[in-house]
Amino acid sequence: MTIPPRDVAATMSIAVTAPTELEMQIAVARIPGLWLEETLEVTVDGAPVAVEEIVDDHGGRIHRLAVASGQVNVDYRASVTTPADPVRVAVTDRSIYLRPSRYAEADKFYGFAAGQFDASRPAGELLDEVTAYVEDRLDYIPGASDPIDGAADTLLAGAGVCRDYAHLVVALLRALNIPARLVAVYAPGCTPMDFHAVAEALVDGVWVAVDATRLAPRQGLVRIATGRDAADTAFLDNHGGSINLDAYQVTAIVRGALPIDDGTGRISIG
């Protein structure tokens, strides 16, 4: 599979009104094999500041800084010129990603999933069935969900945005004994353009990506953060104090023709 070079960027304007610790997850994950050129500029009231970088087990990077008050501006830009190596499967993955989590509460879905799907079928077939079910069951409606909604809320509402689709896929897969997790990505071709979220399932010893929204081709996705659900992958978080996200913008493009994704192939995000 040929993956074209991709250019991604994110800018944020954050008003800090009381001392806080900011954490951002907007940088491309550092995966072996990936060739990446990038810049990250952070200013407070116009003055450049240094940020601490924390790298997690999946290559995701948290950039952290303490701010007393003021206007924080963030400008991140990256060019990804080569695909990354396949993501390795850790010995702990099956344990961690079968557990219920804050927004993918699989324990609420055991009975429901058993009634909707034949759990004795191969994992790959169940993955396709779950993805198709969520695609058919939900309507993509910005503003239809709240940030605190979990997969059960989404199922009842019948609508949501990308993170809601991903949470429902993840919860159903876990309820069917298939390890699953959420991945925050840059998504060339996504409309409306924004940070995007997809599900990842462990099938036949490989992490494969599925996107029930079908908003962007999976071949062009660029991994940012990986976790149990959106609580682990938020692009902006703060601890203590008070902030307001005044504005942000995301761009993601491929150089050349956008890949075509018919939704049937097994595609992994490097």
Domain boundaries, given as residue ranges, for the chain: 6-84+237-253, 93-232
CATH number at 6-84+237-253: 2.60.40.2250
Tokens (6 digits) for 245: 């996200």
pLDDT in tens, the chain (270 residues): 567 799 999 999 999 999 999 999 999 999 988 889 999 999 999 999 999 999 999 999 999 999 999 999 999 999 998 877 888 999 999 999 999 999 999 999 999 999 999 999 999 999 999 999 999 999 999 999 999 999 999 999 999 999 999 999 999 999 999 999 999 999 999 999 999 999 999 999 999 999 999 999 999 999 999 999 999 999 999 999 999 999 999 999 999 999 999 988 999 997
Structure tokens that stand for 213 in this block? 């929204």
For residue 265, which phi and psi values (nearest 5 degrees)? -80, 160
Q: What is the architecture, at CATH level 2, of domain 93-232?
A: Roll (3.10)
Looking up tokens 């991140």 gives 76
Alpha helices in the chain (DSSP H): 93-96, 110-116, 123-137, 151-157, 162-175, 230-233
Q: Answer whether 6-84+237-253 and 93-232 agree in fold.
A: no
Is 254 in contact with 4 (CB distance < 8 Å)? Answer: yes
Select from 32, 40, 27, 37 the least CA-distant residue to 81.
37
**What's the predicted TM-score (pTM) here?**
0.96
Q: Tell me if 3 sits within 8 A of 188, measured CB to CB.
A: no
